[in-house]
Structure 1
Amino acid sequence: LTTLWAIQLTSQVCNSVTNISMNDGNNDFTPQILDSIIVWHGLIGSDREVFMYNINIGGAPVNISNNPSNQDFLPQISNGKIAWFSRGNNQTDIWLYDYLLNTGPTIISTHPTESNSFIDMNSQYISWAADNGFGYEIFLYDINSAAPPVNISNNSYDDFFPRISGSNLTYFGNDGNDNEIFLYNISLGLPPVNISNNDGNDDFRPVISNDYITWYGSNGIDDEIFLYSISSGLPPINISNNPGNDDRLPSISSSKIVWSGYDGSDDEIYYYDIIDPGAAIKLTNNFGIDDVNPLIKGQSVLWASDYDDIMFYDFNVCSNSINISNTPNFIDSTPNIQNGTIIWSGDDGNDREIFLANCENLFSLSIGINWCDGLDLPATLSINGTLHIEETARLKPLNTAPSCASTEEGLMYFDAGTKKLRVCNGTNWVDLH
């Protein structure tokens, strides 16, 4: 990569890690976060319940399911509401709780077998997979209308892992031959469409953001990452293109996709930009260390490194990833993030708890062209106030002096010929040393 000139200044601080579940002797899993609210499911003895924690209030988490006769799992949160599923007494129930109005929890659907329900929700809809007695189907519930849920897959095969964005819903299911990726438009209400069309090969775990759906599936040789545009309707493209090595578990946010892929020695985290396409870029390069289960939200990427540390990378900060949990030999997993607040489920040496760390960019500046391993960054930068640099700043040498006029007074550059730092006094260039 060629950078004509660049100065890079970064600083990032993550505050101390806090155990917010405080559930000694019991395991806690799958935290989710929205604004100041965190939810997860955890054990009380042999009973699983759903807990809610308000960052602004602090204190002990609240048991919002309070359902000792059933096991409660996998809460999701959106727009002031929390949904989860419970199983017990030979049935599966889907629950909804409104924490803004403090109403519920209420059962919105019941299914006649105990099953894992792979639940997801957005501001208007809740979707889940559940066994209706004849196989797993995908169900959809409209929060606004509160009408009975609709079976949208409605076939004789198993369907799993629904994911919603706007009025589009995607999932994977068997078509009688293999597992394919399906798309359902909630507004149109037409039968789901097979968008993977990957006959003879299995496709799994789609995720969706606005116009794009991505998943991993076999090309007959290995697992690759595929991308589909809803608006174009064109066949999906292979964006990992990593022959002979498996790529799995993509995560998407707007136009950015990350996933875990094998590079011949271990699993690394890869990145692909839909708006500025090209070859996938490695975000990690840790020989002998597996980097797995990435999540991207906005400009932030989280993953588990060797299954025992939570790593954080920010596209706004052109620097190395940061170890947030820093707990070697203890398992950390399922990280999530909202506005610089990072949460995860981790082992404290006794059991699994939910941890919280606040990470904020105190200073993050990058100027240049195609800097930071191919990631495009701003070409100009203005600062009002004082710039403090604790470590180093680097100016790449210029062979030709830039313009020096009254409007450039104070401009600096490093001269490649004289090896001197020069400053513009408004008329001429002056050597500083």
Structure 2
Amino acid sequence: MEKLFSILLMTTIVVTTAIFHVHAQDYKTTRITNSEYYNAYPQINDNGVIVWEGTDKSSPYEKDIFTYDGSLITKITNINFNDEKPLINNSGDIVWRASELPLTSSNFCNRHIFLYDGYTIIQLDSDDYLNWNEHYRINDSGNVTWSSMIGIYRIPNECSIQSDFAQIFLYKDSETKQVTQEPYPYAGHLRPDINNLNQIVWDMPTKGGSLFYLFGDIYIYNSTIISQISKNSYKDWRAVINDKGHVAWSGYDGNDFEIYFYDGSSIIQVTDNDYDDPCSFYGYNLKINNSGQIVWSAYNGSGWEIFFYSGSSVIQITDNDDYDKDPQINDKGHIVWSTTLADAPNNSEIFLYNGSTTTQLTDNGGSNQYPQINNNGEIVWVGPDDDGLGGEIFHAVPSPTTINVAIDIKPGSDPNSINIKNKITIPVAILSSVEFDAITIVPETITLSIEEVTLKVIEKKSNYLCNSDDANADGLLDLLCQVQTTDANIDSGELIAVLEAETEEGLLIHGEDLVRIVP
């Protein structure tokens, strides 16, 4: 049964801003928090909204959920629960787990699932079931899946739990549904993940043995039916799914754990080495993006390293003796992670891989952890305060990179004569190069400025008059657009026309060409 709770709103002020450089791109970093809380586990959605848990320094077992919308911090919980490890979707819905206060040996491991839809807090699960670990996920429609223990028994005063009936649940359209029904021994249906197609994947043990190694096969739910993806005599677990229905997981091959990939019809073994990918203790290091690229952390015998599957090959991103952990990947293939230095175990720094090079984002000698990256390249993490202690939330926003490109106004003409006082159409070619594809420019962002006069691309019935054409006969497709002049008073003579635009990835474009203004 759903339970509704009131919320408490609280605002504070952003306190610190700085600039750091990542190759050609600047990042503006802001310390979001400056409060009496130990903050942890930040998440960020594609709209730049950040959510995290904060522990009251005066009451170490009292945690609450906070959000930051770009200007204000809001405390959304005040319900006498120990609220922790929130997740946020691109609609701003937030899900987390919580235990009742005061924490005792009987309720410490009994964590319920809560959802905040922007207005109301709802308890999604039943008080009759036990929920534990990080077994809950949310998609952009606000649908939530989790694993609940039925018929449980607990080792006294510990969080070790065994169950005859661990089942998968789904909250959708304001109703909670039990997805799985079959009883299975030991741990049952565990570790669900959900995508925006409302497909759910999880692992389910089907074999006996030591409790730690009870990891069986991977299953998928497609709104109406459950199908088994993997079926072998080994152990498969920690499945993740993207919005195309592609699934990745860690599976035992008889020697160690390897990475496997399911494209909707067949299974591919991504790795084949003599160490665990990822180590079974850290299965949640495995992430997949909507391009089918996978990232994970694994111990290769000398250190914990970050590995990346590009869709065709595996790339080892790091190669050191440090502890590289918590990798996250966005849909552009950009990866962030935290590295704990082997010779300074209290020092963890944040690193970024942009698809070709790796850059260290922090260098403050403190503990920087739990990085996350959204599809716009914004990064959040937990870092040190002014005293060097951890527990503050940091937010880094990339400044757009400007690319200088070649343009040709009135291709084929020389000089480029324009009578700007008459409303005429001027063709403008933005030229591609080996390093730059002009077709990626968004036509509606194009402006052509001559002194103080700004011209725009002609628009007809919501379509901009641009097309691809090899304007300079170099074998590369250029972007050819039609710009209309206006009745403006500009003195005759030679002037520089400046074109500015933006690409689909948010890169800024700058180009110049000489024009002759004629009466």
What TM-score do you get using the length of structure 2 for normalisation?
Answer: 0.61
Query: Which residue, out of 132, 148, 151, partners 1:133?
Result: 151
Instruction: Identify the residue that residue 12 of structure 2 maps to in structure 1.
Output: none
User: Residues 128 and 258 of structure 1: is their aligned pair in 2 closer, same or farther, counting only changes over 3 Å?
Assistant: same
> Equivalents in 1 of 2:121, 2:378: separation in Å?
27
Shift, 1:96, TM fit: 1.7
Residues 362-373 of structure 1 mapped to structure 2, 5 A cutoff:
362-363=401-402
User: Residues 361 and 202 of structure 1: is their aligned pair in 2 closer, same or farther, counting only changes over 3 Å?
Assistant: farther
User: Residues 290 and 362 of structure 1: is their aligned pair in 2 closer, same or farther, counting only changes over 3 Å?
Assistant: same
> Equivalents in 2 of 1:310, 1:181: separation in Å?
34
Instruction: Identify the residue that residue 240 of structure 1 maps to in structure 2.
Output: 271
User: Residues 21 and 118 of structure 1: is their aligned pair in 2 closer, same or farther, counting only changes over 3 Å?
Assistant: farther
Check the 8 A contact 1:11/1:361 in 2, yes or no: no
Instruction: Identify the residue that residue 287 of structure 1 maps to in structure 2.
Output: 320
Check the 8 A contact 2:44/2:51 in 1, yes or no: yes
> Equivalents in 2 of 1:378, 1:227: separation in Å?
33
User: Residues 244 and 309 of structure 1: is their aligned pair in 2 closer, same or farther, counting only changes over 3 Å?
Assistant: same
Instruction: Identify the residue that residue 3 of structure 1 maps to in structure 2.
Output: none
Residues 262-277 of structure 1 mapped to structure 2, 5 A cutoff:
262-274=299-311, 277=312
User: Residues 25 and 86 of structure 1: is their aligned pair in 2 closer, same or farther, counting only changes over 3 Å?
Assistant: closer
> Equivalents in 1 of 2:51, 2:301: separation in Å?
37
Secondary structure, aligned partner of 2:396: strand
Instruction: Identify the residue that residue 356 of structure 1 maps to in structure 2.
Output: 395
> Equivalents in 2 of 1:321, 1:385: separation in Å?
34
> Equivalents in 1 of 2:389, 2:88: separation in Å?
28
Runs (4+) of structure 1 exceeding 6 A deviation are 383-386
Instruction: Identify the residue that residue 149 of structure 1 maps to in structure 2.
Output: 177
Query: Which residue, out of 250, 274, 281, partners 1:216?
Result: 250
Instruction: Identify the residue that residue 96 of structure 1 maps to in structure 2.
Output: 115
Whose RCO is larger (CA < 8 A, sep 6+)? 1
Check the 8 A contact 2:260/2:268 in 1, yes or no: yes
User: Residues 227 and 108 of structure 1: is their aligned pair in 2 closer, same or farther, counting only changes over 3 Å?
Assistant: same
Shift, 1:268, TM fit: 2.4
Instruction: Identify the residue that residue 204 of structure 2 maps to in structure 1.
Output: 173
User: Residues 222 and 23 of structure 1: is their aligned pair in 2 closer, same or farther, counting only changes over 3 Å?
Assistant: farther
1:311 aligns to 2:341 (yes or no) = no
Check the 8 A contact 1:140/1:152 in 2, yes or no: yes
1:14 aligns to 2:27 (yes or no) = yes
> Equivalents in 2 of 1:262, 1:272: separation in Å?
16
Q: Deviations over 1:373-397 (max 9, x none)?
A: xxxx9775449999xxxxxxxxxxx
1:71 aligns to 2:82 (yes or no) = yes
Shift, 1:244, TM fit: 1.4
Q: Deviations over 1:151-174 (max 9, x none)?
A: 426423423221111131111232
Shift, 1:282, TM fit: 2.2
* Amino-acid identity (%): 23
Shift, 1:54, TM fit: 0.8
> Equivalents in 2 of 1:128, 1:141: separation in Å?
7
Q: Deviations over 1:323-355 (max 9, x none)?
A: 223233524224333412110123433342221
> Equivalents in 1 of 2:67, 2:370: separation in Å?
19
Check the 8 A contact 1:49/1:72 in 2, yes or no: yes
> Equivalents in 2 of 1:117, 1:169: separation in Å?
15
Amino acid at match of 1:111: D
1:106 aligns to 2:106 (yes or no) = no
Amino acid at match of 2:83: D
User: Residues 282 and 116 of structure 1: is their aligned pair in 2 closer, same or farther, counting only changes over 3 Å?
Assistant: closer
Check the 8 A contact 1:12/1:362 in 2, yes or no: yes
> Equivalents in 1 of 2:300, 2:193: separation in Å?
28
> Equivalents in 1 of 2:404, 2:299: separation in Å?
32
User: Residues 147 and 195 of structure 1: is their aligned pair in 2 closer, same or farther, counting only changes over 3 Å?
Assistant: same
Secondary structure, aligned partner of 2:321: coil
Gaps of 5+ in 1: 1-9, 367-376, 387-405, 412-433
Shift, 1:23, TM fit: 3.1
What TM-score do you get using the length of structure 1 for normalisation?
Answer: 0.72
Amino acid at match of 1:246: D
Instruction: Identify the residue that residue 163 of structure 1 maps to in structure 2.
Output: 193
Instruction: Identify the residue that residue 431 of structure 1 maps to in structure 2.
Output: none
Instruction: Identify the residue that residue 64 of structure 2 maps to in structure 1.
Output: 49
> Equivalents in 2 of 1:380, 1:204: separation in Å?
42
Instruction: Identify the residue that residue 86 of structure 1 maps to in structure 2.
Output: 98
User: Residues 218 and 51 of structure 1: is their aligned pair in 2 closer, same or farther, counting only changes over 3 Å?
Assistant: same
Check the 8 A contact 2:336/2:371 in 1, yes or no: no
> Equivalents in 1 of 2:98, 2:317: separation in Å?
38
Worse-superposed segment, 124-133 or 206-215? 124-133
User: Residues 141 and 329 of structure 1: is their aligned pair in 2 closer, same or farther, counting only changes over 3 Å?
Assistant: same
> Equivalents in 1 of 2:75, 2:301: separation in Å?
45
Query: Which residue, out of 273, 276, 287, partners 1:251?
Result: 287
> Equivalents in 1 of 2:44, 2:150: separation in Å?
27
User: Residues 365 and 85 of structure 1: is their aligned pair in 2 closer, same or farther, counting only changes over 3 Å?
Assistant: farther
Shift, 1:124, TM fit: 4.6
Greater Rg over alpha carbons, structure: 2
Gaps of 5+ in 2: 1-22, 102-106, 153-162, 209-213, 279-284, 342-347, 406-432, 449-470, 477-519
Amino acid at match of 1:187: S
> Equivalents in 2 of 1:353, 1:77: separation in Å?
19
Shift, 1:105, TM fit: 0.8
> Equivalents in 2 of 1:351, 1:24: separation in Å?
12
Shift, 1:25, TM fit: 5.0
